[in-house]
Amino acid sequence: MSGAGISVNAGIPDYQTLRKSEKSSFDISVYNSAADTARFLTMVCNLSRQSSQAKPTAFHCFLDGFASNGRLIRHYTQNIDCIEHRLPNLGERTVQLHGRIDEAVYKSCGWRTSFLPTWFCGSDLPDCTRCQGVALERERMGQRQRGIGRLRPNVVLYGEDNPSGHIIGELAERDIKTGPDAIFMVGTALKVPGAKKLARKLCRAVKARGGVTVSINKDDAYSPHVSFTAVIERLESDKLHMISELKESNNHIAEAIELKDLAEREVAHFKSIAQAIEIDNEKLQQEVKTLTEVVEHFKSTTVKSLDEFTNNLKFGLNLFAAKTSSECPPFK
């Protein structure tokens, strides 16, 4: 799960900086007055321009590497800049929790279209083009008009429900069932209640199966409301080059995984051979034991029979000698 911190190096200001520089906020109250709405729309248009020009950071590319070799189950982000979608693999693994800056939406009907800054000049929100089409059709058919909705940037604001909340919840449940063994919270203090709740849920699931949970931030933005295995704070800028090195080593990791799989297959093969040898050895030992018993039985029965035969022969000869000649000496 990522926050604004991972996009700062791409030229996207974090929310604290935006609030100070643009004198606006991401609260639903921005639509309460024309002046607040105008400031908010100006801020969103500036952010849209910055996002369209931004390039993925080393950390985005690092995540894309994990996505490419199948090690990334999901990337949940609170960012709306859509930088992930400029990479070949990360975009399809990314869930944007708070909307996206490149879309406009009419909340009531859920219709979405591309965000065009020219539509959002001043304080007036543009009409929903889909509603306009429906209104014209109803007018043509002589039906009663239902009104035309207004488009707004597809950004989830503080104080409003996330219309995609139930979908995100179901997706998180499916992700948990896949058995993740690590989760990283990067560049976020988890101050938004929905994100904090999701973070707790994911961390509990990972810890339950003996995995690790890590919080990584450039400053001390650690959230005490979520339990982590490790917390990395105050990450200095001159240490961020490590991300590039990690990305480079990610290819070596993929190669190591292939070698590991090959080694495991070889070990399994040798184990099967050893088991076969062990089985053959057990059979041989059993056969030797049986043969030994047969020999011992043969020796005992043969010697016993020979002794009986000798005694009987001696007795018969002596008896014969006694009857035929009393002078014949005893047979020995």
- So what's the pLDDT on residue 238? 46
Q: Which of 60, 75, 85, 98 is catalytic?
A: 98
Give the whole-number percent of the chain exceeding pLDDT 70: 83
Angle between helices 15-22 and 34-53 (to 10 degrees): 130
Q: Which residue has the tokens 């911190």?
A: 5
Burial profile 263-294: b = 16 or more Cβ within 10 angstroms, e = fewer = eeeeeeeeeeeeeeeeeeeeeeeeeeeeeeee
Angle between helices 165-177 and 193-208 (to 10 degrees): 10
Burial profile 152-162: b = 16 or more Cβ within 10 angstroms, e = fewer = bbbbbbeeeeb
Cα distance between residue 288 and residue 310, in whole Å: 32
150 Cβ contact partners less than 8 Å away, ≥ 6 residues apart: 106, 125, 126, 127, 128
Mean pLDDT of all residues belonging to the chain: 81
Q: Is 327 helix (H, G, I), strand (E, B) or coil?
A: coil
Tens of pLDDT, residues 202-229: 999 999 988 888 888 876 555 666 777 7
Could you tell me which of 44, 32, 4, 41 has the C-alpha nearest to residue 159? 32
- So what's the pLDDT on residue 267? 78
Q: List, as one string, the DSSP characters of 286-324.
A: HHHHHHHHHHHHHHHHHHHHHHHHHHHHHHHHHHHHHHH
Return the number of other C-beta atoms located less than 10 Å from residue 113's C-beta.
Answer: 16
54 Cβ contact partners less than 8 Å away, ≥ 6 residues apart: 7, 10, 11, 12, 81, 83
182 Cβ contact partners less than 8 Å away, ≥ 6 residues apart: 206, 211, 212, 213, 214
Q: Which residue has the tokens 């931030």?
A: 217
Q: Is the pLDDT of residue 327 over 60?
A: no
Q: Is the pLDDT of residue 245 over 60?
A: no
Q: Is the pLDDT of residue 283 over 50?
A: yes
Q: Which residue has the tokens 């849209």?
A: 48
Tens of pLDDT, residues 108-158: 777 888 998 888 888 888 877 777 777 788 777 888 777 777 889 999 998
- So what's the pLDDT on residue 80? 95
Averaged pLDDT, 283-298: 76
- So what's the pLDDT on residue 167? 93
Does 98 qualify as catalytic in the annotation?
A: yes
Cα distance between residue 9 and residue 79, in whole Å: 14
- So what's the pLDDT on residue 276? 78
Give the whole-number percent of the chain exceeding pLDDT 90: 33
- Residue 211 carries which DSSP code? -
76 Cβ contact partners less than 8 Å away, ≥ 6 residues apart: 1, 2, 94, 95, 97, 168, 172, 195, 198, 202
pTM: 0.67
Residue 284: pLDDT band by 50, 70, 90 thresholds? confident
Q: Is the pLDDT of residue 94 over 90?
A: yes
Region of poorest pLDDT, from 2-16, 55-69, 250-264: 250-264
Alpha helices by DSSP H, the chain: 15-22, 34-53, 58-68, 129-140, 165-177, 193-208, 241-324
